[in-house]
């Protein structure tokens, strides 16, 4: 099964992100837009895993989470990867001045590496993917729309848990099913 570990966001934030997608659609670029229920911050994409490893992954999540207290982040701003040229991914930013997400992601990487998962080589940038560009036609207009948006705030959320998701690829898009939830370890 395909799996990943992520942080979920509440419906109020997701609704505002869907409104931002609607404004970006007007650029006329062919984009596969994420549905509201798919919006999350991926901490670790595991790829194809044997279902027998789910318990070991859940244990790694527990170890990574036990050293982290719940914390707050702001979802704000829009951007695209790559930062210049034709965008391939449209995203909303996550502001975490305390670096909590980065430390949590680093602890997960270390624990999962012990289980044989390869460490991510790219730098980690917490974000919520809003869409993936499918055709470069209209990509310049899409970038202009992204850059033309005012610095928008979508909301603040208290992060209290990690979620291990199964990702099933279907013709209508991926379906994410929570397999395990792990609360962050301690309150400050």
pTM of the model: 0.93
Q: Name the catalytic one among 40, 100, 125, 137.
A: 40
The answer to whether 84 and 44 are in contact (CB under 8 A) is no
How does pLDDT run along the chain (188 residues), one tens digit per residue? 999 999 999 999 999 999 999 999 999 999 999 999 999 999 999 999 999 999 999 999 999 999 999 999 999 999 999 998 889 999 999 999 999 999 999 999 999 999 999 999 989 999 999 999 999 888 999 999 999 877 889 999 999 999 999 999 998 888 999 999 999 985 44
Does the annotation mark 137 as catalytic? no
List the end-to-end C-alpha distance of the chain, in Å, as a whole number.
36
Overall size of the chain counted in residues:
188
The answer to whether 128 and 79 are in contact (CB under 8 A) is no
> What does the domain layout of the chain look like in residue ranges?
2-183
Q: 138: left (phi > 0), else alpha (psi -120 to 50), else beta?
A: left
Q: Name the catalytic one among 63, 100, 125, 127.
A: 127
Output the CATH code of domain 2-183: 3.90.1140.10
Beta carbons within 10 angstroms of residue 154's beta carbon: 23
Does the annotation mark 125 as catalytic? no
């Amino acid at each position: 099964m395909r799996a990943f570990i992520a942080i979920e966001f509440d419906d109020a934030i997701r609704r505002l992100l869907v409104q931002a997608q609607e404004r970006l659609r007007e650029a006329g670029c062919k984009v596969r837009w994420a549905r509201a229920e798919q919006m999350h911050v991926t901490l670790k994409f595991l790829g194809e895993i044997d279902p027998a490893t789910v318990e070991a992954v859940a244990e790694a999540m527990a170890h990574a989470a036990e050293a982290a207290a719940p914390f707050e982040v702001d979802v704000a701003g829009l951007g695209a990867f790559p930062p210049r040229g034709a965008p391939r991914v449209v995203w909303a930013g996550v502001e975490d001045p305390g670096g909590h997400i980065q430390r949590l992601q680093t602890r997960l990487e270390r624990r999962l590496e012990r289980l044989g998962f390869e460490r991510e080589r790219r730098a980690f940038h917490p974000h919520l993917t809003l869409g993936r560009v499918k055709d470069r036609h209209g990509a310049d207009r899409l970038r202009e729309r992204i850059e033309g948006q005012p610095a928008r705030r979508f909301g603040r959320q208290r992060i209290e848990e990690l979620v291990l998701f199964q990702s099933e690829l279907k013709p209508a898009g991926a379906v994410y099913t929570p397999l395990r939830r792990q609360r962050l370890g301690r309150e400050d």
